[in-house]
């Protein structure tokens, strides 16, 4: 009972703070309420990613960034309790997770984050959240505009190779994003750049990135412009933009992206409409026979405030999350957990 009162008080406090700022919309009266709220972090939450425990999914964890000069990655259990803090990082921005990176002949699950003030990415083993990158891997070397922010990991189905797609605070249109192939170098992880791509409007920045491994696409938010779609496999040597959608659907800004998979080829793309405190939902498989046609299906109001990052899984994580978990960053230095069924219900209602 105490936990329920704590969640209610936290939501009320955060909503009041938002209402005091004319630039922020309050939480909508019909907003979906979180199933759980994490313990608060010291500084500024930004982006979460879900690691699925292969032997017991109910013991899966959420890894989230605490974005500050004295920041870190934090691991939470499915009740929102902090399990572990990583080594100190200088402004870790976004984080993503992949499974089975070969390090010293063994498969290792990894969390990769951008360390913005050091112009590098950091790689941690999971679930122990220990660094395995020999101090970090520089990114955007040779460019004057570095400042890494967004990251997404692509696992190529054909051979299991893992690639990191990294965005930055600003950069040139056409090569804003750099893609790195991850590998093992002895006991440590290493990376080499294999691709540069990505149109940029110049309006704000590119931070939110997500990859659909099964369908082979990468999506990223060109903030205040729209959501752009490309092929994810660098071996295809294809940097043609496949789609540019959501251009007129948002209040501001286009932020965190999460992909919910109903099957290997169907589901939803959810994108944070940051200043409206909602998520815009698009068909993963496209529409009207066109896989690159992504019309708006629904807008789901949530209790998150100014959400920067989100992640989702369809895996049964136990009684609370039988059809999966949706997790979103919120002001108040927390992450909000939503049972997927709560989100699905709103999508279904919008379709009627």
Do 280 and 249 touch, CB atoms closer than 8 A? yes
Tell me which DSSP letter residue 175 carries: S
Beta-bridge mates of residue 124? 111, 131
Q: What is residue 116's three-state secondary structure?
A: helix
Q: What is the pLDDT along the chain (352 residues), one digit of tens a residue?
A: 444 444 444 444 444 344 334 455 789 999 999 999 999 999 999 999 999 999 999 999 999 999 999 999 999 999 999 999 999 999 999 999 999 999 999 999 999 999 999 999 999 999 999 999 999 999 999 999 999 999 999 999 999 999 999 999 999 999 999 999 999 999 999 999 999 999 999 999 999 999 999 999 999 999 999 999 999 999 999 999 999 999 999 998 999 999 999 999 999 999 999 999 999 999 999 999 999 999 999 999 999 999 999 999 999 999 999 999 999 999 999 999 999 999 999 999 998 7
Nearest to 15 by CA among 38, 4, 31: 31
What pLDDT is attached to residue 24?
A: 59
Q: How far is CA 110 from CA 63, 155, 172, 223, in A?
A: 11, 12, 29, 28
Instruction: Give me the residue label for tokens 């920041």.
Output: 71
Token pair for 185:
């170098």
User: In whole angstroms, what is the distance from residue 307 CA to residue 273 CA?
Assistant: 8
Rounded distance between C-alpha atoms, residue 273 and residue 251, angstroms: 7
User: Which residue from 23, 64, 136, 56 is spatially nearest to 327, judged by alpha carbons?
Assistant: 64
Residue found under tokens 């999350």:
321
- In this prediction, residue 51 carries a pLDDT of 98
What pLDDT score does 26 carry?
85
User: Cβ of 84: how many Cβ atoms within 10 Å?
Assistant: 15
Domains recognised in the chain with CATH numbers: 36-351 (2.120.10.30)
Nearest to 118 by CA among 107, 131, 105, 109: 131
Question: What single DSSP character describes residue 39?
Answer: P
N- to C-terminal Cα separation, the chain: 36
> How far apart are alpha carbons 138 and 154 in whole angstroms?
19
Strand-strand pairing, 162-168 and 243-245: unpaired
pLDDT at 352: 77
Cis status of the peptide bond prior to 187, with omega within 30 of 0: no
What separation in angstroms does the CA of 279 have from each of 77, 211, 300?
Answer: 24, 18, 5
Assess contact for 220 and 228: CB atoms under 8 A.
Answer: yes
Judge contact between 49 and 96, C-beta under 8 A: yes
Instruction: Please give the structure tokens belonging to residue 65.
Output: 């960034």
Query: What per-residue string of b and e applies to 246-273 under the rule 16 or more CB within 10 Å gives b?
Result: beebbeebbbbbbbbbeeeeebbbbbbb
- The CA angle 6-271-284, to the nearest 5 degrees, is 125
């Amino acid at each position: 009972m105490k936990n329920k009162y704590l969640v209610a008080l936290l939501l009320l406090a955060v909503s009041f703070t938002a209402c005091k700022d004319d630039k922020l919309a309050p939480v909508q009266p019909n907003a979906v309420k979180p199933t759980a709220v994490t313990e608060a972090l010291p500084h500024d939450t930004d982006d979460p990613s879900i690691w699925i425990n292969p032997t017991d999914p109910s013991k899966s964890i959420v890894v989230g960034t605490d974005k500050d000069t004295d920041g870190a990655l934090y691991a939470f259990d499915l009740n929102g309790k902090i399990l572990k803090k990583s080594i100190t990082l200088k402004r870790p921005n976004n984080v993503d997770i992949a499974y089975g990176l070969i390090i010293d002949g063994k498969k290792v699950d990894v969390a990769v984050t951008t360390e913005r003030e050091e112009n590098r990415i950091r790689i941690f083993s999971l679930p122990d959240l220990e660094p395995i990158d020999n101090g970090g891997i520089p990114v955007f070397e040779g460019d004057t505009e570095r400042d890494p922010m967004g990251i997404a990991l692509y696992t190529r189905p054909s051979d299991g190779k893992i690639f990191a797609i990294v965005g930055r605070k600003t950069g040139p249109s056409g090569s804003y994003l750099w893609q790195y192939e991850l590998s093992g170098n002895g006991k440590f992880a290493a990376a080499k750049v294999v691709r540069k791509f990505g149109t940029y409007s110049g309006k704000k920045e590119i931070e939110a990135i997500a990859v659909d491994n099964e369908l082979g696409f990468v999506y990223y938010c060109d903030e205040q412009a729209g959501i752009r779609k490309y092929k994810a496999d660098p071996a295809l040597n294809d940097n043609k933009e496949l789609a540019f959608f959501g251009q007129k659907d948002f209040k501001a800004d286009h932020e965190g992206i999460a992909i919910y998979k109903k099957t290997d080829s169907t589901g939803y793309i959810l994108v944070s409409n940051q200043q409206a405190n909602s998520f815009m939902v698009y068909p993963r498989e496209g529409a009207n026979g066109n896989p690159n046609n992504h019309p708006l299906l629904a807008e789901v109001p949530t209790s998150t405030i100014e959400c920067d990052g989100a992640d989702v899984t369809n895996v049964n994580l136990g009684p609370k999350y039988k059809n999966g978990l949706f997790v979103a960053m919120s002001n108040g230095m927390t992450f909000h957990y939503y049972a997927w069924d709560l989100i699905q219900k709103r999508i279904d209602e919008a379709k009627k």
